[in-house]
Amino acid sequence: MTKSNFSRREFLGVSAAVAGGSLAARNVLLSQESETLPTRRAAPSDTVKFGMIGVGMQGSGLLGTSIHLPGVECAGAADLYDGRHTLAREIVRPDLPVTRRYRDLLDNKNIDCIVAAVPDHWHRQVVIDTVSAGKDIYCEKPMSHTAADGFAMVDAAKRSGRIVQIGSQRVSSQTCAKAREIVAQGMLGDLMLVEGWLGRNDPTGAWQYPPPFDLSPQNLDWDTWQGDVVPKRPFNPLIFARWRCWKEYGTGVAGDLLVHLISGMMFMLGINEPPRQAAAVGGIRHWKDGRNMPDVHGVVYYFGDLPVYMRLNLATEMPETYRIQGSKGLLEVGGSSVSFTPQLGIDTYPSYYTGSFPRAMREEYLRRWHAENDEKLARLPPQESISYRMPDFDDTRPHLANFFDAVRTRKPVVEDVVFGHHAALACHMANESYFRKTAVTWDGASGTIRS
Ligand SMILES: NC(=O)c1ccc[n+]([C@@H]2O[C@H](COP(=O)([O-])OP(=O)(O)OC[C@H]3O[C@@H](n4cnc5c(N)ncnc54)[C@H](O)[C@@H]3O)[C@@H](O)[C@H]2O)c1
């Protein structure tokens, strides 16, 4: 046992009788219903008709959720793979109009807006075409595949005046709303550091999806699917199903998972700007299946002067978690819980450093310390840690509802094109730093990522 350990224990024992601000714990169960969800049936004139572009893993879920929102109807679906026309009809109705050409939906005057869940390399074109056709769009995250794509999308959205909602649905969760409230009330004091992490550990979590059995150039427009990526590749079902593994189509764990952590953090802290700097480490450490995107990716950022440390791992499972650290306490945010533990940030016991004083000096220090502090500490109100639980809360439904409501009312959405652009830039900086093997900075004047 070291001397300072002994002293600390000794002093803690001495001060236990006088320390105020003792910590109690409170648990609160929040109800499942969100205030943002419309519950009444909309009048027929209020009905929003949408077209679905991309009916894959995410699009099929968005489609099924959207059609169960009051006053929302699907008027058609587009996908380059015919099997997904069948799927769209199974989800909506057997006679749903389906097409391979998404522009057919944009030309349809009965369609008010679009929900798009196409791979990342198609986001720019789909968003620009949709807003240029005078329609609003919900587009999946990450908003852009490159920084330049993001600028083009922001420009097109601003020029058209159409609504763009980006699909990082965490920002519509009850957890993010509660955390944002706690931060806005100043309960954390000065923000010191934000940490966030997420890990998975199974082939599906690492994107090794099974391609549909019947996929062929006859039922998939493979040439269009590849977009403007060069060089064009021969038909490859693995690329179709596992496009996230390659930077030509996807944005890696940064665009797939980090973007959720970043968007949630920006929302909770009221940040709407790209990071100033990013420095990443990582590698293809486990899933050596021909991918060119890392399966482990850790990034240290400066958002303004706030240090932020995010880490993603596809070969060790870790539930998605934030630790927002402040001078007055710690806020932990999980998938369905938010916990705040207050901290006084003052000495509630005599400094253990004085274990290094000779006895007479130490006794004098203790005498003075107790005379100055005991009464003050005894008067401190009890501190209370508080945990909120949100059982099985679905954030996609309120996020979609927020979009359809905006289409109806023209009120701003929760995650617009500028917010989406900034969150995506943080992901592009994480990737650029990883590939360039050096820290990168955001140059706002030229709109580029610099080493
Ligand atoms: N918000 C979330 O939690 C979440 C979850 C998963 C995926 N996503 C995002 O959703 C998007 C789609 O991901 P996915 O896993 O569903 O991919 P997917 O490959 O399963 O589905 C994409 C579909 O889009 C179709 N498509 C591609 N280009 C098209 C085009 N030009 N016109 C019409 N259809 C086209 C494909 O044929 C395919 O059926 C991605 O941007 C992804 O990052 C978001």
Query: Quick one: 48 and 163 in the same domain?
Result: yes
C-alpha span between 221 and 216 (Å, rounded)? 9
Does 211 reside within a domain? no
Query: Quick one: 77 and 9 in the same domain?
Result: no
* pLDDT greater than 60 at residue 297: yes
56 ligand 1 Cβ < 6 A? yes
Among candidate residues 168, 194, 229, the one where a domain is terminated: 168
Binning pLDDT at 50, 70 and 90, where does residue 37 land? low
Query: Quick one: 128 and 100 in the same domain?
Result: yes
Binning pLDDT at 50, 70 and 90, where does residue 60 land? very high
Distance 51 CA to ligand 1 centre (A): 15
Does 337 reside within a domain? no
Whole-number pLDDT of residue 382: 87
Query: Quick one: 54 and 133 in the same domain?
Result: yes
* pLDDT greater than 50 at residue 15: no
Structure tokens belonging to residue 157: 């959205």
Residue range 236-264: mean pLDDT, rounded: 98
Query: Quick one: 51 and 151 in the same domain?
Result: yes
The single-letter code of the amino acid at 157 is A
207 ligand 1 Cβ < 6 A? no
Query: Quick one: 129 and 73 in the same domain?
Result: yes
Whole-number pLDDT of residue 441: 98
C-alpha span between 35 and 355 (Å, rounded)? 56
Whole-number pLDDT of residue 44: 58
Does 367 reside within a domain? yes
Does 327 reside within a domain? no
Does 375 reside within a domain? yes
> What percent of the chain stands above pLDDT 70?
92
Does 223 reside within a domain? no
Query: Quick one: 73 and 100 in the same domain?
Result: yes
> What is the tens place of the pLDDT at every residue in 104-151?
999 999 999 999 999 999 999 999 999 999 999 999 999 999 999 999
Cβ atoms of 422 and 273 closer than 8 Å: yes
Q: How far is CA 376 from CA 19, 57, 336, in A?
A: 9, 59, 38
Total domain count for the chain? 2
Residue 81 alpha carbon, nearest atom of ligand 1: 37
Pocket perturbation via mutation, ligand 1, pick of 53, 55, 58, 240 by most ligand atoms within 8 A of CB = 58
* pLDDT greater than 70 at residue 17: no
Query: Quick one: 9 and 48 in the same domain?
Result: no
Range of the domain at 362: 3-30+345-379
Q: How far is CA 6 from CA 1, 50, 257, in A?
A: 7, 69, 45
Among candidate residues 168, 185, 217, the one where a domain is terminated: 168
> What is the tens place of the pLDDT at every residue in 194-227?
999 999 999 999 999 999 999 999 999 999 999 9
Query: Quick one: 26 and 131 in the same domain?
Result: no
Query: Quick one: 76 and 157 in the same domain?
Result: yes
Does 319 reside within a domain? no
Helix (H) or strand (E) holding 365: helix 359-379
Residue range 323-335: mean pLDDT, rounded: 97
Residue 125 belongs to a domain with what CATH number?
A: 3.40.50.720
Q: Give the mean pLDDT of the chain.
A: 93
> What is the tens place of the pLDDT at every residue in 383-424?
899 999 987 678 999 999 999 999 999 999 999 999 999 999
Sign of CA dihedral 264, 301, 242, 336: negative
Query: Quick one: 59 and 162 in the same domain?
Result: yes
Residue range 25-41: mean pLDDT, rounded: 65
Residue range 173-187: mean pLDDT, rounded: 96
Binning pLDDT at 50, 70 and 90, where does residue 40 land? low
Does 128 reside within a domain? yes
Among candidate residues 144, 168, 192, the one where a domain is terminated: 168
415 ligand 1 Cβ < 6 A? no
Distance 121 CA to ligand 1 centre (A): 10
Pocket perturbation via mutation, ligand 1, pick of 53, 55, 65, 79 by most ligand atoms within 8 A of CB = 79
* pTM (2 d.p.): 0.93
Query: Quick one: 79 and 133 in the same domain?
Result: yes
